[in-house]
Structure 1
Amino acid sequence: MSHKVLIVEDDPQIAESLSDMLEILDHEVVGIAESYDAAVKLLSEGTAEIALLDIQIKGDKTGIDVAEKIKSDFLIPFIFTTAYADKETIKKASQHSPYGYIVKPYGMKDINASIEIAIENHKLLENQKPEEEKGLFNSESLFVKANSKMIRIKMSEILYTEAKGDYVIFKTTDKGYIVHTTFKNVEMKLDPDLFVKVHRSFIVNVDKIIDIEENNLLINDHVIPVSRNQKPILFSKINSL
């Protein structure tokens, strides 16, 4: 089965070799990142189904830091790929619940087996979660914490949400609410029949869209970008001729 894979690896030769292996195995490489910041940027695009993380990468942060970010914001399986097999490194990595740990050098069979097992184990764990933790829509409204109080917002009144660093802006016709939360968490809480992610920083209410032109859409007087990868998902949500 084909999967969309993010590679986090700071050695260009190893990254290229791993990318070639994945393509031969019919997987799609959605990006190669050499550092924590580059990895988070690619993860924010929302296309990766699984990440292969080298532990030692460029910059002050490591692949383990990337793993922590994935666990908190992106919720996809990840596998550590490293040249280090000492007890201390393995112990430190295992504390972050990876879906696999592959020691370099590795072969195509090692990579493919690890990816398939990680994807299946991730699905099993997701299915075992209580319904309220799966992000399934079960309400016509949403309570958000803004200005030190919980405020109830009707789903139908939300025009769009916008990610701003560690905060998310909920925009309604009359007001805007700034909430300290992750964009992934917001996406999981919104009604999937009513809302669609059109860009790594925007989720929109499809009922509020006025028009769509090229790589933008209009809601009220707000022009919102639409990424190329999200366009097919957007058009699958709207009734068009």
Structure 2
Amino acid sequence: MDKTRVLIIEDESITALEIQKKLETWGYHVVGVAGSGEDAIEIARENKLDLILADIILKGDMDGVEAIEHIYEITDAPVIYLTAHADEKTFERAKETKPAGYVIKPYDEKELAFNMEIALYNRKVKSRVEESEERLKGLNQFMLISSKAMTSSMRIEDTAGFLKEFARFFQSNVHPRFRKELLAENSMRSDEELLEDYLKWLHQFFKNLGYKVDTKDDSLLVNRCFWGTHKGDNKTFCLMCKAITELSFKWTGLPGRVRHDSGVGLNSPTCVFTFGDEEE
């Protein structure tokens, strides 16, 4: 397993060496120790970073805050400031860089270790969220761009080919996220509990795509369609939603099937997807 890569920015050589040894004891990989802002920027350019520990007050023309402002143009690695003192103006500048932590020297080992773990954990969570958002954005764009090319006069074989491609895109972009968010934990859930969790996941998924949805018992109610009033002109739109629900339900491993009712009743939801119905 790769070690976490840390850059130390500290102009007091004894303090820098002490921090380096401590981090290496904890299992971190110190990619470099910079005694000036200029050196720190150079090290950041030459190495991939996971975390930065930076003293605010440095000797020379560039302090730690200015160095971090330049380094943020190179990497998104979080920074924890280590300092014994800083005037109010410098401290306000430091806050504007949105540091992951702030540890007063002489530092407490437990406090430093805790700040580092929290900073790295938050970065990991942020990365996962951004990855999920990017996948969802890709799906959203795929649906929008593709729908413009769809017409009610499309040949059946062309529609089938498109839906097959859509299903493949949905599988590769959403299934990994689905497994992490819904199936990774609580494997001992009953079918009823899993269905309840699945409906919550599906509700949030459609909501993130811009739908207005509700859940009731074992059903998902779509009150506002992604493509609004255009769905009547193009049944392919509805087929994409049907593919999303049927594929994702299949991933749960739950018994039964998905029943789709469109525009049923006066002032009804646009669509109702009911899950777990027995095969006819």
TM-score (norm: length of structure 2): 0.44
Q: Which runs of 5+ in 2 are unaligned?
A: 140-280
Pairwise CA distance, 1:99: 0.6
Residue 67 of structure 1 corresponds to 68
Tell me the distance in 2 between the aligned counterparts of 1:17 and 1:110.
Answer: 16
Matched, 1:107 2:108: yes
1:51 aligned residue: 52
Task: Map Cα deviations across residues 64-117 of structure 1 (whole Å, 9 max, x no partner).
Answer: 012112222211111111111665443321111001111101122122111111
What letter matches 2:5 in structure 1?
Answer: K
Query: Which residue matches 2:118?
Result: 117
User: Which of the pair is proportionally richer in helix?
Assistant: 2
Q: Map of 1:85-96 to 2, 5 A cutoff?
A: 87-96=88-97
Cα RMSD (Å): 2.8
Instruction: After superposition, give the CA deviation of every residue in 1:159-197 in whole Å (9 maximum; x if it has no partner).
Output: xxxxxxxxxxxxxxxxxxxxxxxxxxxxxxxxxxxxxxx
- Residue in structure 2 matched with residue 97 of structure 1 by the alignment: 98
Aligned residue number for residue 39 of structure 1: 40
1:76 corresponds to which letter in structure 2? A
Pick closer, same or farther for the CA change 1:137–1:88 going to 2, 3 Å: same
Q: Distance in 2 between matches of 1:42 and 1:69?
A: 12
- Aligned 8 A contact 2:40 2:67 in 1: yes
Work out whether residues 85 and 103 of structure 1, in 8 Å CA contact, stay in contact via their aligned partners in 2.
no
Aligned pair in 2 of structure 1 residues 127, 70: CA closer, same or farther (>3 Å)? Answer: farther
Give the structure with higher Rg (CA).
2
Structure 2 residue identity aligned to 1:46: N
Deviations 1:174-232 (A, max 9, x none): xxxxxxxxxxxxxxxxxxxxxxxxxxxxxxxxxxxxxxxxxxxxxxxxxxxxxxxxxxx
Cα offset, 1:53, TM superposition: 0.5
Report the counterpart of residue 161 of structure 1 in structure 2. Answer: none
Structure having the higher strand fraction is: 1
Number of aligned residue pairs: 137
**2:49–2:75 contact (8 Å) kept in structure 1:** no
Identity of aligned residues (%): 34
Separation (CA, whole Å) in 2 of partners of 1:44 and 1:99: 21
Residue 5 of structure 1 deviates from its aligned partner by 1.0
Distance 1:87 1:65, change over 3 A: closer
In structure 2, give the amino acid aligned to 1:100: G
Q: Which amino acid aligns with 2:95?
A: S
Distance in 1, Cα, partners of 2:40 & 2:133: 29
How many Å separate the matches in 2 of 1:23 and 1:127?
27
Cα deviation, residue 2, structure 1:
4.5
* Unaligned 5+ runs, structure 1: 139-241
Q: 1:130 to 1:30 in 2, by over 3 A?
A: closer
Show the counterpart of 1:30. 31
Could you tell me whether the CA contact under 8 Å between 2:55 and 2:64 is conserved in 1?
Answer: yes
Task: Report the TM-score, using the length of structure 1 for normalisation.
Answer: 0.51
